Amino acid sequence: MEGREISKAVIGRLPRYYRYLGELLELGVERISSNELSMRMKVTASQIRQDLNNFGGFGQQGYGYNVKYLYTEIGKILGVDRQHNLIIIGAGNLGQAIANYANFEKRGFMIKGMFDINPRLIGLVVRGIEICGVDDLEQFIADNDVQMAALTIPKTKASEIADRLVHAGIKAIWNFAHVDLNVPEDVVVENVHLSESLMRLSYRVCSMQDQKKEQEDEGEELS
């Protein structure tokens, strides 16, 4: 795999392949053809072959893909074979939802700490993790070899905290705050902007309704 360039579009699809392959593994499926995988994933078989051929073409004619091998290889590319130490800044509902999601740990994302500014939350324990005040942030990051931070705080505080995280050596920010963060080039940010996602949904449902209405109007005109 070393030195191979995989396109951004393929990378974007890998987590979904990883999920389906993981489910197949759990079901005890050892190998699968591109056609079967195509039916499950609702992606064309040729797309699947193109995507998975990036990993050395280990789909064999008449044999199919070795599920475990493919799952492991994709996991390596996604970096889920390594341990990532993660902290959560913002211990409200969203932060707690993330802390409670045990599956993240199975994939190597170890939640080392949670932080908040709300004194009513500081000291509480969520799934074994005590919520700390943000004063201790920098020391905690250094002591616990933390590389990743989930930012589940309101947008007003997000930029300030992001600056502190970057100075403290954080290399990856999972940003739920509804603001674009300014970070140096060697820090990666993955945004989860829930209200933008909800607007995409409303756009799609509205265009569906409008289409239907137009069809009905045309129907009336014709009748």
Question: By the criterion CB under 8 A, which residues form the site for its own copies?
Answer: 11-12, 14-16, 18-19, 41-42, 77-80, 82, 84, 92-94, 96-98, 100-101, 103-104, 107-109, 147-148, 171-172, 174, 178, 180, 186, 188, 190, 192-206, 208-209, 212
The distance of closest approach from Cβ of residue 61 to its own copies in the complex, given in angstroms and rounded to an integer, is 28
Nearest 5°: phi and psi at 164? Answer: -65, -40
The distance of closest approach from Cβ of residue 63 to its own copies in the complex, given in angstroms and rounded to an integer, is 26
Nearer to its own copies, 112 or 193 (CB): 193
The distance of closest approach from Cβ of residue 70 to its own copies in the complex, given in angstroms and rounded to an integer, is 15
The distance of closest approach from Cβ of residue 53 to its own copies in the complex, given in angstroms and rounded to an integer, is 19
> Taking the mean position of all CA atoms in its chain, how far away is CA 1?
23
Nearer to its own copies, 135 or 194 (CB): 194
Nearer to its own copies, 41 or 124 (CB): 41
* Calpha distance 13→89 (Å, rounded): 28
CB 132 within 8 A of CB 114: yes
* Calpha distance 100→187 (Å, rounded): 26
Nearer to its own copies, 167 or 204 (CB): 204
Beta bridge partners of 133: 116
